[in-house]
Amino acid sequence: AHLVLFCPFSKGLQGKRGLRVRCVFLAWLGVFAGSWLVYMRYSSYSELCRGHICQAVICDQYHKGIISGSICQDLCELRLVEWRTCLSAAPSQQVYSGLWRDKDVTIKCGIEEALDSKAQSDAAPRRELVLFDKPTRGTSIKEFREMTLSFLKANLGDLPSLPALVGQVLLMADFNKDNRVSLAEAKSVWALLQRNEFLLLLSLQEKEHASQLLGYCGDLYVTEGVPHGAWHAAALPPLLRPLLPPALQGALQQWLGPAWPWRAKIAIGLLEFVEELFHGAYGTFYMCETTLANVGYTATYDFRMADLQQVAPEAAVRRFLQGRRCEHSADCTYGRDCRAPCDRLMRQCKGDLIQPNLAKVCALLRGYLLPGAPADLREELGTQLRTCTTLSGLASQVEAHHSLVLSHLKTLLWKKISNTKYS
């Protein structure tokens, strides 16, 4: 960037003196403003992108024997985990693209405790006390099993399938397959469970549209590489990503995204993901930030949910809404767009969401699929998407219309691309 100063000429000695003062002042102001902008950009970037701190804290805890995990040795001793592009949108959740054993991966780590405004030398001990405090020494495997089951019930609801999920947690904790769970292994998996996205990955690990978990160390975990589709935003500096208007995101998707038939295939995968979230083995989940930024896909155009941070278990949303005081429905909003009506007479939030997942996804697909759609399909597709967006979140309506509308949409899109190279 270049700073151009324009100083108009004026006549006489007095004018020249005033001109010189004016130009010096403008030059000083320009240098000050430019330095401030550079400082703000650097300081904000350094706050957002602190993977080096994350790795240092995790490895410190690993070397002390407080935590363990399947990739600890590669991360902290062999240095086989390469941190590449910073993708973090918030300082508390560090996200990086990376490389691990010749595989493209996404590295995620929370460091909110370490980012205290006080001296950073205190960071590692604080994480040991705050994050890796459970279970305590002397906890039996039976007590840890019960502790994990209680946690899952509180977050996913009282479901008959939870004991099986507890078994999977214990199996994952025993990463070295020695048929026992050490205190370090238990502390690590317990810390991971506190991460919302990890809990979702665990609950949806058998579903094809969620990224696969590849390994962990403490509460740092590694998943499949960043899906395609999110790269438009990832190419921007971290400070600008949240500022990208939805309309511009849509335009980028049209200009730089895949051809329409591939978009149709991705949309089918997104609709299947909505099915997976509705009455799955571990309950119902709500998509609480429905944006194009979360529409990712693989090299073969199979849909992948790019970010599960804003997908919430029904139990968590209902707990948030229960007894919540409100004046307007905006007061009953969980995340970005999981909104329930406000009972103005009782001044309390109601329990049913205004829009189910499918209605929000269909609103998203109108901008994603209709531009460039084949002429013989556009009218019917537009009609079905409009019908879909009118679905309400009331349980009686969801049960009656959800599956039917979703099935019709999938069939319409699949007929258009089946028996072609796009299928």
pTM score: 0.78
Inter-CA distances, 85 with 98, 114, 160, 239, 386, Å: 7, 21, 41, 14, 39
Let me know the angle formed at the C-alpha of 301 by 300 and 305, rounded to the nearest 5 degrees: 120
Domains of the chain: residue spans and CATH: 50-112+133-224 (no CATH), 228-233+243-419 (1.10.510)
Distance of CA 120 to the CA centre of its chain: 27
Q: How many CB atoms lie within 10 A of CB 276?
A: 17
Q: What is the pLDDT of residue 49?
A: 92
Dist. CA 179–CA 174, nearest whole Å? 7
pLDDT of residue 72: 97
Whether cis (ω within 30° of 0) applies to the bond prior to 135 is yes
Residue 75: CB atoms within 10 A of its CB come to 25
- pLDDT tens digits, residue range 335-386? 988 999 999 999 999 988 988 999 999 999 998 899 889 999 999 999 999 9
Dihedral (CA of 390, 394, 400, 403) sign: positive
Contact 72, 221 (CB under 8 A): no
CB atoms within 10 A of CB 207: 16
Give tens-digit pLDDT for 203-219.
Answer: 888 788 888 899 999 99
Q: In this structure, what is the dihedral angle of CA atoms 309, 313, 319, 325, given to the nearest 10 degrees?
A: 60
Which residue from 209, 393, 399, 403 is spatially nearest to 318, judged by alpha carbons?
Answer: 393
Kindly give the parts of the chain with pLDDT less than 50: 1-7, 9-11, 36-43, 113-129, 230-235
